[in-house]
Structures are given as C-alpha cells and as structure tokens.
Structure 1
Amino acid sequence: MNIILKDGPESDHLKPFTFTRPVSELRIGILTIAEKYQKRGFDVSYLTSNYLSAKYPLVKKPVSVLVSANVCPTDAFVQAIADLKPGEGIRHQGNLIASCIEIDPEAEMPEPGSVHSKKEFKDHLTSIEKLWHIFQYNGTELQNDFNLITKGRTSAELSPTNKIIGDNIFVEEGVWAECAVFNTKTGPIYIGKDATVMEGATVRGALALCEHSQLNMGAKIYGPTTVGPYCKVGGEVNNSVLFGYSNKGHEGFLGNSVLGEWCNIGADSNNSNLKNNYEEVKLWNYATGSFERTGLQFCGLFMGDHSKCGINTMFNTGTVVGVSANIFGSGFPRNFIPSFSWGGAQGLTTYKLEKALETASRVMARRGKTLNPIESDILTHVYEQTKEYR
C-alpha cells in the first residue's frame, strides 16, 4: 500500500528542522518517522512544501492512504491503515490522521476530509508537534524501534573486553567496540552496522548508535539518546538526538537537545538545560514569531542543519539556532539565532549565501557526499525565507 505522509500545521512549529526536510524525515528513536513505515513494508512518499518536493517527491497511486506526517506508527496503527478501504479514515483524539483516498494522477490531490466513514483509533500514538517532543518522547520511540528492528533476529557479539550490564542490547554486524561499559538496565542499547565505540566510553541506556557512527574515548552517554548515522560523539551527552552526519566529538555537555544534520559542536562547548532559578523554559516558535512556554524544567539546544559553533561556545537554556549559522566568541549568544547568521554574543551579521554553500559543499565532501543542485536550492530557499529574522 502507498502511504503519503502529509505535513500539517505542526511543520511550522518544528522549524528549524522542517526548513530542510518534511516532518516525516525527523529522526526520533532509532528511525525517522518515514522509516518506521518503510520498515513495516509500506511504500512512502511525501506531501510537503513545494521547494522540498524535488528531494522528497509525491507518488500518486490509484489508491493511497494520506497520513499525518507527525504520527509515529505502531503495529496496531499500521494494521488499521492496511484495513482501510477508499472513503474510510481514522481519527485519533478527535483529529483525522489517516484517509484512504482514490487519486487521479492527472488531478489535484483530494482533500483528506473527503471520507464518508471514520474509525476511532483508541490506542496511544506518539505525535511530534513541538521541538522538545523530539527528545521528550525519544525513549518511547527508541524502545518501539528497538522491538521492531530486532524482532526474530540474533545480535552479533561484542568483544569480551567490554562490560555489559543486563542483556537488553543488540549489535549489528561490523561493530568495533573495546573496553566500554554498556548499562542496559535503564533502557535498550542498539549499535548499528559498522559503528565504533572507543575505549573508556560509558553508556547508560537507552541508546541508539546508528550505522557508521562513533563514540569517542571516554564519552559519557545518558539515555535516552539517539546518535544518528555517520556522527561522532564525545564528552557528556544526556537525553539528546542527533539526526545524522553531525559531530560533537570533544569534551563538553549536550543535554535535552536536538541537532540536525551536518552540524559541528566545537571543543569544550556546553549548553545549559536548566535555568538557575529552576523556572519553566521558554523556546522560540517560528509559527507564532515569539517565545512559548514548554512546560519543561529541562530543555537545551536545538540546532538546524549545517550550523556550527566554535570552541568554548556557551548556549543558554532553550536556545534555537537556525540553518547554516556560524556561532563563535565569548559570552552567551542570544537564545534565538536566525538562519545564516555569523557571530555570537558580541553581535550577528549575515552569513552570505555563497560562503555558506561553499562551506556546506566542503563539509559534505569529507563524508563522500555532494551538495547537489537540489540541496543547494533548498538552502537558497531557506536563506530567502528567513531574511526577516536577520
């Protein structure tokens, strides 16, 4: 069955990450939301912003199911989707979240509300509607993905030089790990294909270390944390998500935070995740153009794709950094840093588009990737879209 993952109003609330990807390409747990459907055997395409559609296309099939892109599937939910017939839909907590529709490939997409029968889905579903939901619900989704990926499979073995506490660990082929400590009693630990865990690393689950990623010597990881593919992580990390291709390779603290792709955190950089007065953290919201209450006491750094910070950077509690920002210098920079900004606490100027694209190209080339015209066009669109904030 063809599933079309449709971005909704939550997309604006999930910026800066959704500046450069559809909602369903957010990583939470081990997998992205789209991958959670694909792992369950569904074909997936996207109904997203026009400027993203070249990279994330819409595939129209005669019968498709339009699903809210921010909903993380469960086995029960995908079975309910598979049982749908044209004209039927699924509601959850009063919202229509799935519609089985007939599509004319030459016509406009029908409205999702054009269904004549709506079933109520009463089981729990994780819905990602705010930035902080990514780390807040990461533990639940990490466990769900762990169960999905490992079901009926046998883990590879780790070297006997490692210390494993408990038995809730799964290791893919090609993993290199020596003299590390893995405590699985606080949550499952998943180590992806060809990942590396260096000597002295200490992990307190839950953890997802995805394929080709690396924990450096002496790293201290508190779960639930996700290190997406092709990342390098060192220092101290607590309840954070790195989407992929990002580095926090040195000493310093990252807590209750989310990093997009192609980010780099300089040596000895830290973020605050708790205010000195223990008050509720407020966070910049692109949808409202203002700061909003999170309801959280612990909330850290949110950094969009291709953004970086220099050594010894200090981030305030609840800081939102846009796409392709370059942050450096002493002191605490402001807690909302617009996309394509250059500077820090002493002031910000515009990071010129041509220079930002040159840097992105060099960074991606180091990982064997190319900044192709589609990627370049997306960044160019974000640059124009975010001028009002600079």
Structure 2
Amino acid sequence: MIVILFDQSTESRYLQCFNGLGDLFNSDSLWPFTEVKPTASLRIGILPLFEKWKHALDAVVLYDCLDNSLSIDEQIALSPYEAEELYFVSVNVIPNESFLEKLISLSKGQYLKSGNDLLALRADFDEPSKVRVAHIPFDETLIRVRFIEDLYLHVGPEIIRDFEILTKHFSGALYSESNTVIGDQLYIGNFVEMECVTLNTKTGPIYIEEGAVVMEGANLRGPLYIGKHAVVKMGTTIYGNVSIGECAVVGGEIANSSIGDFSAKGHYGYLGCSVIGDWCNLGAGTTNSNLKNNLSPVELYDYLSKGLRDTGLMKCGLYMGDFSRSGIQSAFNTGTVIGTGCMLALTDFYPKFVPSFTWLYGDIKEAYQLQKFISDLEVVFLSKNKRLDKRLIERIIEINQSTFKN
C-alpha cells in the first residue's frame, strides 16, 4: 500500500485525473510554518503528520520535501510496495479510525469529499487516465489542520493519541526517587537526566524522549511532549498541552504551545497559545499576550487573503516562523504573526504582522540582507553540529525573492 500526502502544489499524473472534482488543500494557509518545509513534516503532538500516517497504516508514505529531489511519480515508481494499492490523502488530514475505514474501502477511481474539499482518492496505477471516478461523501468527525492556530489547538489531544500509539508495549517508566510523579501516564526514554522534578500525569500523559535533560525544580503537567536531547531548565513551569521539539531549550512559563526543533525559550517570560518554528530564539524576558482585555475574538494575519482573519478564538498568542529571533525583554501582543528569518530587537510591542526577512531595531525597519542572513544561519547550524543544506538555501532564496519582488 502506498499513501501519498498531497496538497494544491503536488504534481502527479494520477492526481491530474481528479482535477475539478474538489478543492485541494492550500498549504499557504499555514505560512509561515510551511514556507521552507512541507506540511507533512509539521509536528502536532508527538508525531509529525507523515509519521502519524506511517503508524496508522502498514504503508509507504510519500510526500514532496526538500530532502528528496525525486518527483512524487518517480517515488511511486521506485517504491517496493504494491502500487496497485495507490492512495492520495490530503496532507492536512489527521487519521482516525472512521476515516481509515472509508479510505481502505475505496475502489479505484473513488474519492472522498467533505463539502467541496477533496480529502482522499484511490488511483489506478496502470491506467490513471482511464479510471471512472465516483464520489463518496465523508461527513464524520475529522481533524484537519487548516490554519496556524490549529497547530496549538490540537497539541494536547494529539499528545494523548500519539502516546497511546507509541507506548502500546511499554511496561513502565524508570526514574529517580528524587522526582515526584503523580499518576502513571509517563514515558521516559534512554539516557534522560532528571532529578527533583514534579510530573503530574493525571492531567494527561508526559512523554520524554531519549537524551533529554529536565533540571531540578521543574514543574510539569501533561499532556506534554519533550523531544530528543531537549533541555528543560531549572524552575520551569509547564502547564500542559505543550510540545517541545528536538534539541529545544525551554524555561520560564509555557502553556498550550508548540516549540520547534533547535529552538530556544531558555529564560523567564510567558509563552501561551503559541507556535514557535524551528531554529528560533526568544531572548530573556520575552513574553506574549494571548488574551485581549475586552475578551473579543482574536484576528490573525492570513497569508492567503493578505489581511486579518477572525479566528473566532478568545485566546491566540505568538506565531513565529523558522529561523526568527527576538531580543531580550521582547513583548508580543495577542495574535502576533512573525514571518521566517526575522531579527527583532524592539523595546515596545511588535507589530501584529512582521513579514519574512525583516530586521527591526530601534525605530528602524529594514530587510535582513540575504547573504548576511544565510551566513548568520550557517553559524547557528554549526553551533549545533549541523550543516545548512543546499536545497534549504535555495528555498530560502526563493522565499526571500518572492517577499521582496515588489
């Protein structure tokens, strides 16, 4: 079985046969988080979307990504799995039991729709252009990641669901007696360093990956995910519904938020109802608001409409794209969207929207010079023993040129 996670930009001769049968998901609605990486690699809870599909089905899962120069059709042709079972699934769908049942029951040429949204289809590997298409409605409950606020709203429930999947054969966590553990929904990987920490798993499971360091005095409530080699600093307070990426460093107060790989919020300050991309840094004292004083619904900048969109939510915090950095004592107002690769150093509240590759300091706003940005980013990567990939650089250049084309 082969499952291809697709969106509006996916090019495939199989997908072309279903043109006009429904709307395809546009990943631009998740900018800035999908500016330089595919939707399929976004982590929601513990697992990224493509990993959720790998665990849901015994299948090869394919998607467009910078790490693979092959087209989707070339990947299909090279797959060792049976191509007769060839399925396309909208990349923003989080699999559940009812959807999986409908998906597997599809015959060649049948497709699932919700309203006018094309959710999934089964293609004919041998003769894609001759397949007779048939519509199957899907009106059951289904979680789809449509907007950037969904990346924090589903963190808690998805940690709970992923925890159940990943710990089916786990017998129980081993930890030092200096720690206080409430409840039994705790997973601790190998080589985790943790002493004098309070962990409350009655509010939801806590999953700590291998090599993580949780320092003394941290107070943790589930649902919570702490990634590989992440560091939770002394006295950190995490209120739950929080996902912390690989090699990330966190401190202060955190609630209802997702923090990307290699990002740092290492000092005091509050982060709530927020999404922080990969390789970001929040300077000491950085704090965000997530609630308006008049309790009115929060509006967020929307890349598709190029204007503000009413989320209908009372709480929305900071949304910061990959490679962006804020100076000490930074203050972000309710519902602030920061693009990719921004350098921020203001002592007042930041604007509600800051375009990618913007440098703000004092009273000055200017473009972050591309070559300087790339050279700075190379230094950041080297500091973590990583190399800046050529294809990522090409994508950064493409986004930069698109941002400043006018």
Fold equivalence (TM over 0.5): yes
SS of 1:229's equivalent? coil
Task: Output the amino acid matched with 2:229.
Answer: H
Match of 1:300 among 301, 308, 317: 317
TM-score (norm 1): 0.92
Unpaired segments ≥5 residues, structure 2: 9-24, 78-82
Q: 1:110 to 1:374 in 2, by over 3 A?
A: farther
How far 1:32 moved relative to its partner?
0.7
CA RMSD of the aligned region, Å? Answer: 2.2
How far 1:102 moved relative to its partner?
2.4
Match of 2:342 among 325, 349, 367: 325
SS of 1:226's equivalent? strand
SS of 2:50's equivalent? helix
Q: What is the aligned partner in structure 2 of residue 10 from structure 1?
A: 26
Q: 2:70 & 2:299 partners in 1: Cα distance?
A: 32
Task: Output the amino acid matched with 2:352.
Answer: N
Q: How does 1:98-113 map to 2 (within 5 A)?
A: 98-103=120-125
SS of 2:63's equivalent? strand
Q: 1:302 to 1:144 in 2, by over 3 A?
A: same
Task: Output the amino acid matched with 2:48.
Answer: T
Q: 1:364 & 1:53 partners in 2: Cα distance?
A: 17
Q: Deviations over 1:296-321 (max 9, x none)?
A: 11100001111001111111111111
Q: 2:193 & 2:216 partners in 1: Cα distance?
A: 10
Task: Output the amino acid matched with 1:7.
Answer: D
Task: Output the amino acid matched with 1:18.
Answer: T
SS of 1:182's equivalent? strand
SS of 2:52's equivalent? helix
Q: What is the aligned partner in structure 2 of residue 36 from structure 1?
A: 52
Q: Deviations over 1:37-66 (max 9, x none)?
A: 123332122247xxx575685222444211
The sequence identity of aligned pairs, in percent, is 36
Q: What is the aligned partner in structure 1 of residue 20 from structure 2?
A: none
Greater mean alpha carbon deviation, residues 246-255 or residues 342-351: 342-351
How far 1:345 moved relative to its partner?
6.4
Q: Say if 2:106 is the partner of 1:84.
A: yes
Q: What is the aligned partner in structure 2 of residue 23 from structure 1?
A: 39
TM-score (norm 2): 0.88
SS of 1:39's equivalent? helix
Greater mean alpha carbon deviation, residues 120-129 or residues 75-84: 75-84
Q: Say if 2:143 is the partner of 1:126.
A: yes
Equivalences, count? 381
Q: Say if 2:380 is the partner of 1:363.
A: yes
How far 1:342 moved relative to its partner?
0.5
Task: Output the amino acid matched with 1:73.
Answer: P
Q: 1:115 & 1:369 partners in 2: Cα distance?
A: 49
Q: 1:216 to 1:195 in 2, by over 3 A?
A: same
Q: 1:286 & 1:328 partners in 2: Cα distance?
A: 24
SS of 2:380's equivalent? helix
Q: How does 1:250-269 map to 2 (within 5 A)?
A: 250-269=267-286
Q: Deviations over 1:52-96 (max 9, x none)?
A: 575685222444211100001124433443443422223345633
Q: What is the aligned partner in structure 1 of residue 14 from structure 2?
A: none
Q: 1:75 to 1:365 in 2, by over 3 A?
A: farther
Check whether the contact 1:7–1:47 (CA below 8 A) recurs between aligned residues.
no
How far 1:25 moved relative to its partner?
1.4
Q: 1:154 & 1:164 partners in 2: Cα distance?
A: 16
Q: 1:57 to 1:274 in 2, by over 3 A?
A: farther
Check whether the contact 1:55–1:374 (CA below 8 A) recurs between aligned residues.
no
Q: Deviations over 1:320-364 (max 9, x none)?
A: 110100000211121101100001462310000101111111111
How far 1:243 moved relative to its partner?
2.4
Q: 1:184 & 1:281 partners in 2: Cα distance?
A: 31
Check whether the contact 1:212–1:229 (CA below 8 A) recurs between aligned residues.
yes
Q: 1:336 to 1:160 in 2, by over 3 A?
A: same
Q: 2:115 & 2:254 partners in 1: Cα distance?
A: 34
Q: What is the aligned partner in structure 2 of residue 73 from structure 1?
A: 95
Greater mean alpha carbon deviation, residues 245-254 or residues 80-89: 80-89
Q: How does 1:113-152 map to 2 (within 5 A)?
A: 116-152=133-169
Check whether the contact 2:330–2:347 (CA below 8 A) recurs between aligned residues.
yes
Q: 1:67 to 1:302 in 2, by over 3 A?
A: same
Q: 1:110 & 1:133 partners in 2: Cα distance?
A: 36
